[in-house]
Amino acid sequence: MAPVKFQDVRKSFGSTEVLHGITVDIDEGQFVVLVGPSGCGKSTLLRMLAGLENITSGEIVIGDRVVNALPPKERDIAMVFQNYALYPHITVGENMGFSLSLKGVAKSEIEDRVRPAAEILGLSHLLDRYPRQLSGGQRQRVAMGRAIVRDPQVFLFDEPLSNLDAKLRVSMRTEIKNLHQRLATTTVYVTHDQIEAMTMADKIVVMHDGIVEQVGDPLELYDRPANLFVAGFIGSPA
Ligand code: ADP
Ligand code: MG
């Protein structure tokens, strides 16, 4: 696990600036949630951390390295998306090990890494099934399994639960938190859902129109919102 730093990070698409100088410090092992309304820049910030989007100015640091110029595969991160496409023609176990096989990791080592990950996620009995034979929640777990087997310094989640029904969404929150407690990997989790943020985060970063409105733990935001935007956003129903 590693600390993460955003230092005065800006992003423009063409002549439009969408992130206006974001500064956030994330401690190693912390579970940080970026929350804010749709379009405020959460995914763009996460994609820059992942190396999937260039940074216009500022600095992003993972561990003790400035990663601005590093390609995604050199950043030691693993990302779980909302649309976690699994490969339909290979098994659950093969899906989980796929990125390792691309890296040329030996088959026996892949199996040694997939097995404990599957156990943590309750997937051990499903390793030989195909994605189409799984429920939505099980597929989501496979997507997390793919991230876990890579044993990254940082986990990134972009709205991983938005495609699940309400009941499953609630139970998956707990599963992701349990996973974090077990692995203690630094996690940056993006959602537009303030209830999800309040129930999952060690630290919440409230974003709005490309700026950070407030950073704090859930209780601080609830008790002492910095301004009307935070008060309204945190206080509104899901
Ligand atoms: P969020 O994830 O919070 O919903 P995004 O990071 O997706 O927000 O988007 C932030 C802003 O940047 C939005 O105004 C969006 O339209 C714009 N944006 C995102 N990606 C691109 C892109 N590739 N080209 C142009 N504008 C983009
Ligand atoms: Mg988004």
In angstroms, what is the span from residue 108 Cα to ligand 1's centroid? 42
Which residue puts its alpha carbon closest to atom 14 of ligand 1?
39
CB 43 less than 6 A from any atom of ligand 1: yes
Give the CB-side neighbour count of residue 79, counting CA atoms within 13 A. 18
Distance 42 CA to ligand 2 centre (A): 6
Q: How far is the CA of 105 from the centre of ligand 2 (A)?
A: 33
Q: Which residue type occupies 11?
A: K
Residues above pLDDT 70, as percent of the chain = 99
| DSSP helix/strand/coil, 25 | strand
Q: Are strands 31-35 and 203-208 parallel, antiparallel or unpaired?
A: parallel
Question: Relative to the alpha carbon of 44, which ligand is closest?
Answer: 1
pLDDT tens by residue, 83-141: 778 999 999 999 999 989 988 999 999 999 999 999 988 999 999 999 999 998 899 89
User: Which residue, chain included where needed, has tokens 């490309």?
Assistant: 210
Res 63 pLDDT > 70: yes
With 70 as the cut, is the pLDDT of residue 146 above it? yes
Q: Of the bound ligands, which one is closest to the alpha carbon of residue 47?
A: 1
Measured distance CA(214)–CA(194) in Å, rounded: 13
Q: Does any ligand 1 atom lie closer than 6 A to the CB of residue 41?
A: yes
What lies within 8 Å, CB to CB, of 165 at 6+ separation is 136
- Closest atom of ligand 1 to CA, residue 47: 6
Cα gap 76→63, rounded to integer Å = 10
Q: Which atom of ligand 1 is nearest to the CA of 37?
A: 3
Calculate the alpha carbon distances from 173 to 73, 120, 150, 176, 178 in Å. 27, 15, 21, 5, 9
The overall average pLDDT reported for the chain is 94
Question: What pLDDT does residue 237 have?
Answer: 60
From ligand 1's centre to the CA of 176, what distance in Å? 26
Q: What is the pLDDT of residue 238?
A: 53
Token reading at 186: 């630094």
pTM, two decimal places: 0.93
Tokens for 65?
Answer: 């390295």
Angle subtended at Cα 138 by Cα 136 and Cα 142, rounded to the nearest 5 degrees: 115
Segment 12-39 mean pLDDT: 97
Span 170-180, pLDDT tens digits: 988 998 999 89
CA angle at 199 for the pair 198 and 201, rounded to the nearest 5°: 70
pLDDT tens, residue by residue, 189-222: 999 999 999 999 999 999 999 999 999 999 999 9
**ipTM for this prediction:** 0.99
Which ligand has the nearest atom to the CA of 42?
A: 1
